[in-house]
Every structure is written in C-alpha cells, then in structure tokens.
Chains A and B, each alone.
Chain A
C-alpha cells in the first residue's frame, strides 16, 4: 500500500435538457418576475472600448437542422486582449465590458446574435500571441457534456496563420470550421456537430 492522494472526482456532467431556459434564461422562457433580466444578454454598454460587432451563431445537428433548444455562452478578452477576470494578472480589463455572454438559440430560426466587440490578442502559454477569438461553450438536449470550441475572425488572416491553437489542427482543412466569415459588422459562425464540416471541439 502507498499513501492515498485523496483527490475528489469531478461531478459527472448531465445534459442541460430541453428546459435549460427555465434556469438560465427564464425571461426568454416566459418566466418573468423572478430575475429582472436574463444574465449574459448585455455584454457591452455605451462606454465599451473596441470595434462593435455582432456574432450570429447556429448549432447544426447531423441531419443539417439548426438546434432550436440550444444555449450558447461566449467568453472573450476586451479590445486590449485582457480578460475581465481575477485570474488575468496582466492588467485591468475594460470595466464596461463583461467579456461573457449567454443566449438561447431562437425557437424558430435556431439563431442567436451576440452584440459585442472584437477582442484583442491574448498570449498563448509560451508567450506567442493567439489570434483574436471567442471561446464558445454549447449545451442542449442530447449533448451529454458541454462542448468547447473557438470562433476566429475571417479578416484576421495574418494572425490566424500564426495562431498556436489553429496550428495544432492536424487536418488543415478543418481550420476553416473555426473561422467565421464577416459580412458588414456581422460574423456568422455555424457550428456543425457532425458530418463533413464537423467543427473542431476541444478537450481543454
């Protein structure tokens, strides 16, 4: 026998189910009067620094249909590349930017639209700069454990080409699954859960 490590095991994940909105976006689910507003719906205000953008996200299943009951969270740095988090010790983030957004996909169209700013570049753990990106987390009925992915920006070709995370993707044709095309101020990010265009998901 040897000494025990006495570690605990992480609580096992379970699906968010079809009624995730009741807990996380109750006003959207039609439950008004409990929370003033749904958390994560307002990421920016009038004073937020940086380029205003919109990000349109859909989550598409293996039959090609967008999920109408998914919940999407994004987490991103501010315009200077600083996270609004105590764990970012490099400086103070823009106090007018939360960096975190949460939206349900529309029950008819399957789309959600985040109003945010374009993030700055954040260093990888070896000091190289990552390209601007959003961290994206998806839960829904039928998804047993939340899926982590990233959205990069199509008009950041130079930064994307030297991004240490994108460079880790062995099948180079899959890099494009993480790069959202720009149309005006809207980036459109289609996340494919399965199929020929399956999005790269991370174990991170």
Chain B
C-alpha cells in the first residue's frame, strides 16, 4: 500500500505510544481558569495500554487541501486584497518524542485577526473584523515532518475570566499523528510577549519548560526580506515503542 504518509519503502509502525506525562500537561481542574471548574472530570482517568482503537487513526490526503489553505493572508481575501497586520511565516517540524519527523500529518490552525478579534458569531470584542481575514488554515506535514504557513500576527485580546485578563497573541493548532492516541490541540505563543506569563490559560501548565516549548522563536534567517518575518515552531507528539521484542500477552 502506498500513500502520502507511508511510502512503499516504509512500513507503518504499530507499537504502543509512550505514556502521556500528566504532570507536564495542564491538569483538568485549574480554578484560575474559571471555565475549567465545571468541565473537569473529578474521578481518576482509567489507565490502559493502547489497543488498535488508539494505535490507528484517520488519514488525510493532499486532495483535501486547497491552494490557499496554508495562506491565511489570502484565503478569505478578495481579489487583489490581503489581510491587515504584521505579515509572518510560521514554520517548523512535527516530531514524535523519539525525535522522528511525523510525515503526512494534518495540521489545522485558527487565530484572531491583527486587532485580536475572531470571526465567530459568539465573539463580541469591540475590535473590528478584517473583511479580508477568516482566521483558519491547514496543511499536511512533509516527509520529514516539516510544515509552513503564512499569516498575520494575531493581536492580544481581553476575555471574561478575571476582571482584566488578556490572552497573549496566539495561534491555535490541532494536530493529528498516526494514531488517535496522539491527537492534540495546543496553542503557539510568540517570543517576547509579556502577556504570556500573566495568562490564566497559559498558567494552567505548571512546568515553565512546557510553556517555553509552546513559544515560537523569531528566526530572522527565515524571513522573506521586505515581505514577512518568520517564527519557528516545532511540535512534538507522543512517541511509540518499538515492536521488535514486544510481548503483547495479557499480564506481562
């Protein structure tokens, strides 16, 4: 079988995924982020080794992608128009915890416009919509896990939580790996943004290094001169065990 994710010379891996480090991820119950209070499970999660239901996952081919899907500056803009805001490239690689690039993975992103306003019917922030900006994009990682998209840098915005909480500028990422157990949604922050460390959502994460791992680095070498600056953002999904000497009998 040949497809974009597994070329003919590569066999799909089927080993179980490494355990999630639940001390690295945010816990479910984080009262400073108020909405989590009524939405956090209180019973312990049931721990179980992966079965086929989690080792497998959906495949997305390049046929789902439109020409402008990875260009948020233009994918909703009128002819000859473009979105307003600081023009940037966001690029990086998708790895697993073993450092292996994850090929053929669907990345979906969404974000506010340069004024910090989302194009959503429930959004009420007074900053105006940009008629040329939708705020969604997607791409599929290459053979080495690399990806790139073009957008404008989103603005920070206030949100109802504490009396004066603001989100740092951020881009939401949804990531599919090769197994459904790798499914992940996270957010990318921007190097040097003073709002990062004040944000109750960022601070649901207890480990400073985990927050730094979500902060993209300005990369002037990857800049397109006179056009767009570049931010590098690598993403890591769960690694998986080798099946070479695997004993899958119950009880071992």
Interface residues of A, Cβ cutoff 8 Å to B: 6-24, 26, 29-31, 33-36, 39, 61-63, 67, 69, 73, 75, 77, 83-89, 98-100, 107, 122-126, 128, 130, 133, 135, 137, 139-148, 150, 164-165, 168-169, 193-194, 198-204
Q: Which residue of A lies closest to B12 (CB)?
A: A86
Given A22-B136, A125-B248, A126-B248; A204-B59 close (CB under 8 Å): no
A98 neighbours in B (Cβ, 8 Å) = 58
Q: Which of A13, A85, A124 contacts B25 (CB 8 A)?
A: A13
Q: Which residue among A12, A142, A203 has the maximum number of chain B CB atoms within 10 Å of its CB? A: A12
Given A22-B136, A34-B136, A144-B204; A83-B186 close (CB under 8 Å): no
* A-contacting residues, B1-60, CB 8 Å: 1, 3, 5-6, 12-14, 16, 19-22, 24-28, 30, 33, 35-43, 45-60
Q: Which of B43, B98, B120 contacts A198 (CB 8 A)?
A: B43
Q: Which of A123, A135, A144 contacts B33 (CB 8 A)?
A: A144
Shortest distance between the CB of A180 and any CB in chain B (Å)? 16
Q: Which residue of B lies closest to A135 (CB)?
A: B53
- Selected interface stretch from B79-87, B171-179, B219-227: B171-179
Contact B172 A135 (CB under 8 A): no
B244 contacts partner chain A, Cβ-Cβ < 8 Å:
no
Shortest distance between the CB of B108 and any CB in chain A (Å)? 5
B36 neighbours in A (Cβ, 8 Å) = 15, 142-144
Contact B53 A133 (CB under 8 A): yes
Contact B55 A87 (CB under 8 A): yes
Q: Which residue of B lies closest to A30 (CB)?
A: B121
Given A31-B136, A35-B66; A11-B214 close (CB under 8 Å): yes
Shortest distance between the CB of A17 and any CB in chain B (Å)? 7
Contact A8 B110 (CB under 8 A): no
* A-contacting residues, B192-241, CB 8 Å: 201-202, 204-205, 207, 209-211, 213-214, 235-239
Q: Which of A77, A142, A164 contacts B35 (CB 8 A)?
A: A142
